Structure 1
Amino acid sequence: MAGVVPPIRPGADPRGKDRSPYRVSLIDFVDRFCLSADRSVILRGLIDLRAGLHSIGVTQGFQWIDGSFLEHIEDVEARSPNDVDVVTYAFLPAGQTQVSFLPTLQPYLDRKRVKTTYKVDHIVRILPHVDIRDVCYWYSLWSHRRDGMWKGYVEVDLAPTDDTHAAGLLAAKIGAGFQS
């Protein structure tokens, strides 16, 4: 009703763990949020960004996804989302260190370039070397709209398992005029 993903699943125990970030498949994410041509461009960018990460061996971890993309921003603010916000928590490919892999990963760390190329406001964090304060920062930032309203966000596995199917679903939704 408020145009946001609920921070706690409706009807769930408010003290329970059935809360944001909600784990969803990339397929379900595309199915739920591909509602318009503008959104389809952003989703295509997300899928392409993931393909780029996969091509350099970054396939293990997860992505937290948020921003106005997860809201009914079209109804709430009478505009389309400009991008999707993503924090990628990833394990490095086998045999790599942060120092040795940095040049390969660098194109995906350049937020301005990534946002322009993919329409994704992207941050990368390397597992298992994540500071708990960093996790708390993203959780607290993404658990509220700028106006203070509580909201939720989602988690998608980084593995490429669903990407081809999600891209096909995206193409089908575009072809069908965004009908479910």
Structure 2
Amino acid sequence: MMRRDGVNSVLPAFNASMVLPPFVGDSPARRAEGSPYQASFCEVALRFGGTEARCAILRGLYTYRAELRASGFVHGFQWIDGSFSEDVEASRGRPPGDVDVVTFAYRPAHLQNPHDFNAWFRSNLHLFNPAALKARLHCEAFFIDMQKAPHLLVDDVRYWYGLFSHQRESLLWKGMVAIPLESNDDDALVLLG
């Protein structure tokens, strides 16, 4: 896939509906060609930056990712979506207001015990409150503990994939992006100013 500037990219161009396509190629059955598209934070900054409004959102996402990692959440990934991953400037005549984020992460070593994790979680709600994160960092963010019971994890994936893979108003099927937590985000920060 090529970005608008002609550089090879793992992220496809927006389709005629001005969203990431839910899959590339001629069939959604090819696992490697479907959403969520894997990308580094730097790739996301290159692809979705470009305006001051978008860069401010990306700086907020950078801070959120740094805070999660500082708390020990380094193994996992984030799905990003919402109007941020669409060409809303062209389709709706406005910049995105935030980025929707679901973090799927394994607990750090010091939080393996469920009691310890729950106590820590309650005392660190600033990392897990979607409304507060949206106000503070432009991230409407949600957290999924990858060490929960498998049937609960499957239900979370089903819910978030169903929600993120469609526009809320139109129900248009669309793609999203997956970013690993293990990433050198500092390179992207240079791009964001």
How far apart are the structure 2 equivalents of 1:164 and 1:14?
34
TM-score between the two structures when normalised by the length of structure 1: 0.89
CA RMSD of superposed structures (Å): 1.3
How far apart are the structure 1 equivalents of 2:132 and 2:60?
12
In structure 2, the residue matched to 1:14 is: 28
Query: Counterpart of 1:137 in 2: which secondary structure?
Result: helix
TM-score between the two structures when normalised by the length of structure 2: 0.83
Q: Which amino acid aligns with 1:108?
A: L
In structure 2, the residue matched to 1:118 is: 137
For these two proteins, the number of residue pairs brought into alignment is: 169
| Structure 1 runs of 4+ with >6 Å offset | none
Q: Which has the higher contact order (CA 8 A, sep 6+)?
A: 1
List alignment gaps of at least 5 residues for structure 1: 172-180
Q: Of residues 70, 77, 80 in structure 2, which corresponds to 1:65? A: 80
In structure 1, the residue matched to 2:191 is: 169
Q: Map Cα deviations across residues 17-54 of structure 1 (whole Å, 9 max, x no partner).
A: 12011111111000000021110110000001111111
Using the aligned pairs only, state the percent identity. 36
Residue 134 (structure 1) shift: 1.1
Q: Is the 8 A contact 2:146 2:153 kept in 1?
A: no
How far apart are the structure 1 equivalents of 2:124 and 2:180?
19
In structure 2, the residue matched to 1:147 is: 170
In structure 2, the residue matched to 1:40 is: 55
Q: Of residues 92, 106, 114 in structure 1, which corresponds to 2:125? A: 106
Residue 14 (structure 1) shift: 2.6
Q: Is the 8 A contact 1:63 1:87 kept in 2?
A: yes
Residue 60 (structure 1) shift: 1.0
How far apart are the structure 1 equivalents of 2:69 and 2:135?
20
Q: Is the 8 A contact 2:107 2:147 kept in 1?
A: no
Query: Which is worse superposed, 53-62 or 82-91?
Result: 53-62
List alignment gaps of at least 5 residues for structure 2: 1-15
Q: Which amino acid aligns with 2:146?
A: L
